[in-house]
Each structure stands twice: as C-alpha cells, then as structure tokens.
Amino acid sequence: MARALAFLFLLALLASRPAGANPVELNVRPKICTLAATDEHCETTVRAHWRAARDESLCLVIVGRPEVKRCWENFAEGSYQVELTFAEDLTVELRDPSLERVMASAAITIIREALQLRRKRRQPWNILY
C-alpha cells in the first residue's frame, strides 16, 4: 500500500510539472540593436551563453544563417561569440544534435530610429540665424 501511495505521489508530482518546463537556459547579448535613421545594417558581436541542469549534447544555430553553427557534446554549459552583420531580427536557437528539436531560443531585435525633423530654436533678436 505504501509503495502504491509513493508511486501515485511521484506520478502527481511529475504531472504537475509544467509541460513547457525547459531545463536549458540561453542568454544572448545584445538583445536589441538600435540603428540610426541612416544605417541599414547592424554590425555587432553576438555572444551566446547557455546552461543546463545536466550534461547535454546541443547545437547553437542562428535561424536563416546556416554558416553559424556550434555544437557541444555532453556539456552542462557553453559559450560562443561571432561577429555578424544583419538587417532583420535574428533568432538564436539551441537544438538537439539532429537539429530537429528546439531546446531554447532567444531573439535579437532591430529597432530603427525614426528620422526626426526639428525646427531650430533661435532667439528672436539673433539676426545671424
């Protein structure tokens, strides 16, 4: 009887765990790239660091950039940095070695600065402006 109760308790504990609970944490810097009104591309060093509760075999990829791929075999954490130039938002993903399942994901958002027209302020008695 005690074993059955322990089994039911363990089953209830596992069922109460959120379905989307992710044991892998991914941090990407920068999170935002701000472009001036005259800039077309963001040029920056993208730094990614991940950590897992236990050893994992994972690959870090950037969606739409097949040339950027770094894999680790049986590690609990890893870091990677790469110089990139991009004009649209980037999505960085940690995937299983077969690249089928996404374990963690983070985005780098581009914010374009709007061109602001400002009227020059001047003193009414200043005739030089």
Range of the domain at 72: 22-112
pLDDT on residue 117: 54
pLDDT on residue 62: 95
Peptide bond into 124 cis (omega under 30): no
3-class SS at 9?
helix
CA angle 119, 123, 124 (to 5 degrees): 100
Assess if residue 10 is contained within a domain. no
pLDDT on residue 47: 97
Assess if residue 91 is contained within a domain. yes
pLDDT on residue 120: 59
Residue 46: give its domain's CATH number: 2.60.40.1930
Assess if residue 121 is contained within a domain. no
Query: For the whole prediction, is pTM greater than 0.85?
Result: no
Tell me the Ramachandran region of residue 74: left when phi exceeds 0, alpha when psi lies from -120 to 50, beta otherwise. left
User: 129 forms bridges with which residues in the sheet?
Assistant: none
Assess if residue 125 is contained within a domain. no
From CA 58, how far away is CA 50, in angstroms rounded? 10
Show pLDDT as tens, one digit a residue, over the chain (129 residues).
445 434 434 444 444 344 445 589 999 999 999 998 888 999 999 999 999 999 999 999 999 999 999 999 999 999 999 999 999 999 999 999 999 999 999 999 999 876 555 555 656 665 665
Distances (CA, A) of 73 to 27, 30, 54: 19, 26, 12
Number of domains comprising the chain: 1
pLDDT on residue 9: 42
pLDDT on residue 18: 43
Q: H helices of the chain, where?
A: 2-16
Backbone angles phi, psi at 72, to 5 degrees: -125, 140
